[in-house]
Amino acid sequence: MLSLVTNLVLFALAGAISTVPVSITMMILLSPNPRRGALPFLVGSLAGSIVVVGLSAVGMHLLPVRPELDQDVLLTWLGLLVGAFLMGYAAYLFAHKSETDSVLLGKMKARFHSARPWEFVVLGLGLNLRPKAILLAVTAGALISVREPPLLQGTLFVLAFAAVTQSAVVVPIAIWLHSPERAEGPLTAIYTWLQRNGRTIAAVATLAIGVFIVGYTVVQL
């Protein structure tokens, strides 16, 4: 069970290290009317993550023929797969500039001025359908399913994974809710810093987590 918790934490942290969700969160909080979008976006982000992980966790039980694989072997292969993907994704981030992301974020920022609350919910849900987010969430759900924990424990695993992987959304909004006026200055500074350094930091952190996952998995063999 310790290996399951460790892998879930690593996968969730890898999901949290992404410049797009945190940048969108900052833009919402720094918009003229943040109250209209902050909580709906938070609800959509968490709900989307919970749904993807939850469906993945129960998916194997719904298969007509469930593969008979040794749990430790399956966990090993999943760990190696995710670790290799993260290292490849980090290499992609290093090799490509963030011009596409900047253009996309710019269009979103202009749209936030007139967007309705339900549109922020849809946006939060949609961010969980990015390839990296889907891979990590589906893999986390599969890990939970393989270990077959009791219903309550499995539910807690799903909720905890969603909370950690969406921490880049949860934490800024929680800080803003605590003190909107005092949070504006730090959030502006962080957002500006992210625009300059976020992609490089995300690449380095993703590479480090990918290497650690592969190394940890190999040690467990």
- How confident is the model over 26-51, as pLDDT tens digits? 999 988 888 889 999 999 999 999 99
27 in a domain, yes or no? Answer: no
Q: How many domains does the chain have?
A: 1
106 in a domain, yes or no? Answer: yes
Task: Please say if the pLDDT value at position 100 is more than 70.
Answer: no
Average pLDDT for 153-169: 94
What is the distance between the alpha carbons of residues 96 and 7, in angstroms, rounded to a whole number? 28
99 in a domain, yes or no? Answer: yes
Task: Please say if the pLDDT value at position 169 is more than 60.
Answer: yes
Task: Identify which of 18, 215, 39 has the alpha carbon closest to the alpha carbon of residue 136.
Answer: 18
- How confident is the model over 49-71, as pLDDT tens digits? 999 999 988 876 666 555 555 66
Per-residue pLDDT band for 202 (boundaries 50, 70, 90) equals confident
Average pLDDT for 9-22: 89
CB contact at 8 A, 123 and 44: yes
Task: Please say if the pLDDT value at position 91 is more than 70.
Answer: yes
* 167/73: higher pLDDT: 167
125 in a domain, yes or no? Answer: yes
Residue whose pair of structure tokens reads 């968490």 in the numeric block: 46
Count the Cβ atoms, other than its own, within 10 Å of residue 193: 11
CB contact at 8 A, 127 and 18: no
Sequence-distant (≥ 6) Cβ neighbours of residue 146 within 8 angstroms? 60, 71, 74, 75
65 in a domain, yes or no? Answer: no
161 in a domain, yes or no? Answer: yes
What is the distance between the alpha carbons of residues 118 and 37, in angstroms, rounded to a whole number? 9
44 in a domain, yes or no? Answer: no
Task: Please say if the pLDDT value at position 104 is more than 90.
Answer: no
Residue 146, domain extent = 2-13+53-60+70-220
What is the distance between the alpha carbons of residues 74 and 59, in angstroms, rounded to a whole number? 16
Residue type, 163: A
Average pLDDT for 79-106: 78
CB contact at 8 A, 16 and 164: yes
Average pLDDT for 183-212: 88
pLDDT for res 42: 96
35 in a domain, yes or no? Answer: no
